[in-house]
Structure formats: C-alpha cells, structure tokens
Amino acid sequence: MSKKFAPRTSIEQVEEGKDLAPKFDADGLIPAVTTDVHSGELLMVGYMNAEALSKTIETGEAHYWSRSRQALWHKGATSGLVQTVKELMVDDDQDCVWLKVDVAGGASCHVGYRSCFYRRIPIGKDAARLEFTDTEKVFDPKKVYGEAPNPTKL
C-alpha cells in the first residue's frame, strides 16, 4: 500500500473525512470512471490497482490496470491518446474514482470511436436491439494498434 493511502478506520473517516483511504476489491482493483472534461461525455470505465492510482496522482496522466493484459497500463502509451487528468474525484465510500480528462487526439476507444459508449439500449423493448448513436470513427484501429491483440474478451 502506497504512503498516499490511509488505513480505513471508521465510516465517518471514509465518508466525511479528508483521508484518501480507498477500498480495493478482492483482486486489488477499484473502478475508474473517465469523462471528457470539456463535453462531460463518458469515455470509458477502467480499473486501477494501488500502483495505477498512485501513478495517476503523481503524474497527472491516467494509468489503469489492464485486466486483459494483467499489466500496468499508461493510457495512450501505444496509441498516443494520453489522458491528462484535469480533476480526480473519489466517491462516498472510496471504492471508485472519477477522472475528468483532456484527451490528446480526441478518442478513447480502441474500436476507433470517440467514446466507448456508442450504442444505446432501447428502454421498454422486450428483445433489445442496440442503436448506434455514433457511426463515425475518429481513427483507424488497424493503423494505430497494428497487430496488437484486441482487448475484448468473449
């Protein structure tokens, strides 16, 4: 555990105090929600371990834990689409963080879209068919990632 993090001693400390005392799950991870600081749009949801959270705080650039690669992931190291953290928030029980970022190049999704969230689930329908809300790719994933394995797992 980094010296940045305090032990969790009481509900009052965690919810109403100024100690950063994150609760990592059984795998040592905490979800990280990343929005565009300009548009407010949700770009991605990733995971951080203690090291990724420490690095993000230290450098001001988003670091995650890649569950598919099982490795520390400096976002943009391959694609150049680095996320500069403009504001970093923590939630009430400190088991989640929120990054408001400025994205170099404007894209965050490995499929090539601006956001990972480009399809809508219709409400009230029985057999859901997704609706595309974004059809324009910002970059060509083949050019950016080449033959790197796709992180999506079935």
Q: What minimum distance in Å lies between the beta carbon of 77 and its own copies?
A: 19
Per-residue binding letters, 55-84, with its own copies (x by CB under 8 A): --xx-x------------------------
Size, binding site for its own copies by CB under 8 A: 64
Kind of pairing between the strands at 97-103 and 30-36: parallel
> Letter for the amino acid at 64?
Y
> Letter for the amino acid at 97?
V
Mark 83-104 as b/e (b = at least 16 C-beta within 10 Å): bbbeebebeeebebbebbbebe
Q: By CB under 8 A, is residue 148 in contact with its own copies?
A: no
Q: By CB under 8 A, is residue 119 in contact with its own copies?
A: yes
* Interatomic CA distance for residues 73 and 86, integer angstroms: 19
* Interatomic CA distance for residues 145 and 123, integer angstroms: 35
Q: What minimum distance in Å lies between the beta carbon of 9 and its own copies?
A: 8
Q: By CB under 8 A, is residue 142 in contact with its own copies?
A: no
Residue ranges in contact with its own copies by CB under 8 A: 3-5, 8-11, 14-20, 23, 31, 33, 35, 40-42, 44-45, 57-58, 60, 85, 87-93, 96-98, 109-111, 113, 116-133, 150-154
